[in-house]
């Protein structure tokens, strides 16, 4: 073989560099294409939470009535949307796992891993909070049973009044003191607790733990990338914060006062438009609630239960015989809300557990990618 001349060596070196540049350009174009697809997926899934699938007037009305924002079924759809986006996020990372160890993602990955741990704590608190909603449901059922007695007696009204008193105080007490109690589990213990206790809350948080402070800590370092471009990690982190914030707003959680904060979502980004709209609508409800009576728990069924409970309490305080027909409609509506809770709360709790396990898996996969990308 003829020896490589200096000219040939220079040519081969330039050719190699050019191939590297072309390869980098191709990879960059592929990453941009994947990012665009990911953003479209996010926009579509969260837009579905605001707009019904059909455009007919009848369907619009039916959908609005069956799944209003912050209702149990709507919250389950929110969790499904997030799970779908998180799955897409993992696909994007898997395509080019080395990117998470290079600038600028290398700086954002540790923040995201920490954010996931905080989200796991929130999932634990929300599962416990759903148990407190079940307790409210039981109190409402006691009141319904008492009011349906015929003829309605003084004793039945007193029994209903006791249940209503506990019901109307439950939301405020949970928001200020806690949906769960006991010692603070380690992260590992919390993760395994969901698997061990399929029927219960799974894990506890300490008395000093605060849902509001946890959300604030998750948003503290959530800053949009420079140049106006979004990275997959920034997008999924923003969605995680928004979903966790919405869950804490909807379900009575420990120390959830002070959640009326503006989440740092980029309004100018297409993927964030629907998420911003959801945040604004939930925020309006939250401000009205805090001005009225404070506390947490904006789940649509709970708000209806509270309104009806106040009416029934007023009736019980001024009860006179032969007046039971005055509250027949309210009693029937309360009974209907209890049925919805009976059917939906278990599914909601199961959905939160699924998000919990997905985040645990996601965190483990990211850590594994980091280990494999090290030289």
Other beta carbons within 10 Å of 283: 18
- Residues 363 and 342: their CA atoms lie apart, in Å, by 33
| pLDDT value of position 178 | 45
| pLDDT value of position 52 | 60
| pLDDT value of position 197 | 37
**Cβ–Cβ under 8 Å, residues 270 and 39:** yes
| pLDDT value of position 54 | 45
- Residues 224 and 267: their CA atoms lie apart, in Å, by 11
Percent of the chain with pLDDT over 90: 46
**Cβ–Cβ under 8 Å, residues 85 and 41:** yes
**Cβ–Cβ under 8 Å, residues 233 and 101:** no
- Residues 300 and 308: their CA atoms lie apart, in Å, by 13
DSSP letter (8 states) at residue 53: S
Sign of CA dihedral 276, 278, 282, 284: positive
Cα separation values, 201 from 108, 189, 249, 345, 360, Å: 31, 13, 18, 12, 17
Question: 287 exposed, middle or buried (CB, 10 Å; 0-12, 13-18, 19+)?
Answer: exposed
Each of the 375 residues of the chain gets a pLDDT tens digit; together they read: 555 555 555 655 554 555 444 444 446 577 778 889 999 999 999 999 986 644 443 433 344 445 899 999 999 999 999 999 999 999 888 887 777 777 767 778 899 999 999 999 999 999 999 999 999 999 999 999 999 988 888 889 999 999 999 998 875 555 444 444 333 333 334 443 443 333 334 456 677 888 889 999 999 888 877 766 678 899 999 999 999 999 999 999 877 776 766 788 888 888 999 999 999 999 888 887 765 655 558 999 999 999 999 999 998 888 765 566 778 899 999 999 999 999 899 999 999 999 999 999 999 999 988 887 766
Domain boundaries, the chain: 22-49+70-373
Closest to 282 measured CA to CA, from 247, 255, 258: 247
| pLDDT value of position 152 | 85
DSSP letter (8 states) at residue 321: T
- Residues 171 and 136: their CA atoms lie apart, in Å, by 8
Closest to 261 measured CA to CA, from 273, 249, 252, 247: 249
Termini Cα distance of the chain: 35
| pLDDT value of position 291 | 59
Cα separation values, 326 from 41, 322, 329, Å: 50, 9, 8
């Amino acid at each position: 073989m003829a020896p490589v001349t200096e000219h040939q060596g220079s040519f081969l070196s330039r050719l190699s560099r050019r191939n590297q540049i072309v390869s980098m350009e191709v990879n960059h174009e592929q990453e941009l294409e994947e990012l665009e697809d990911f953003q479209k997926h996010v926009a579509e899934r969260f837009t579905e939470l605001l707009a019904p699938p059909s455009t007919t007037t009848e369907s619009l009305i039916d959908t609005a009535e069956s799944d209003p924002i912050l209702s149990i079924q709507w919250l389950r759809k929110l969790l499904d949307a997030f799970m779908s986006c998180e799955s897409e996020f993992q696909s994007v990372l898997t395509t080019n796992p080395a990117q998470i160890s290079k600038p600028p993602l290398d700086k954002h990955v540790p923040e995201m891993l920490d954010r996931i741990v905080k989200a796991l704590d929130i999932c634990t608190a929300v599962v416990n909070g759903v148990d407190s909603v079940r307790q409210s449901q039981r109190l409402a059922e006691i009141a319904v049973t008492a009011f349906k007695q015929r003829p309605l007696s003084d004793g039945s009204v007193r029994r209903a009044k006791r249940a209503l008193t506990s019901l109307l105080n439950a939301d405020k007490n949970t928001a200020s003191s806690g949906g769960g109690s006991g010692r603070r589990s380690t992260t590992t213990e919390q993760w395994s607790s969901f698997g061990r206790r399929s029927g219960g809350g799974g894990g506890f948080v300490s008395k000093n733990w605060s849902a509001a402070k946890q959300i604030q800590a998750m948003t503290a370092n959530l800053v949009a990338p420079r140049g106006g471009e979004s990275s997959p990690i920034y997008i999924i982190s923003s969605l995680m914060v928004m979903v966790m914030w919405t869950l804490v707003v909807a379900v009575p959680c420990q120390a959830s006062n002070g959640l009326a904060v503006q989440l740092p979502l980029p309004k100018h980004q297409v993927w964030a438009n629907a998420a911003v709209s959801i945040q604004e609508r939930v925020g309006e409800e939250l401000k009205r609630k805090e001005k009225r009576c404070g506390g947490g728990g904006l789940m649509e069924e709970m708000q209806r239960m509270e309104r009806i409970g106040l009416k029934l309490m007023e009736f019980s305080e001024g009860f006179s015989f032969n007046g039971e027909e005055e509250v027949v409609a309210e009693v029937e509506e309360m009974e209907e809300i209890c049925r919805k809770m009976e059917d939906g709360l278990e599914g909601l709790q199961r959905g939160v557990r699924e998000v919990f396990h997905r985040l645990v898996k996601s965190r483990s996969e990211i850590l594994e990618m980091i280990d494999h990308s090290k030289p």
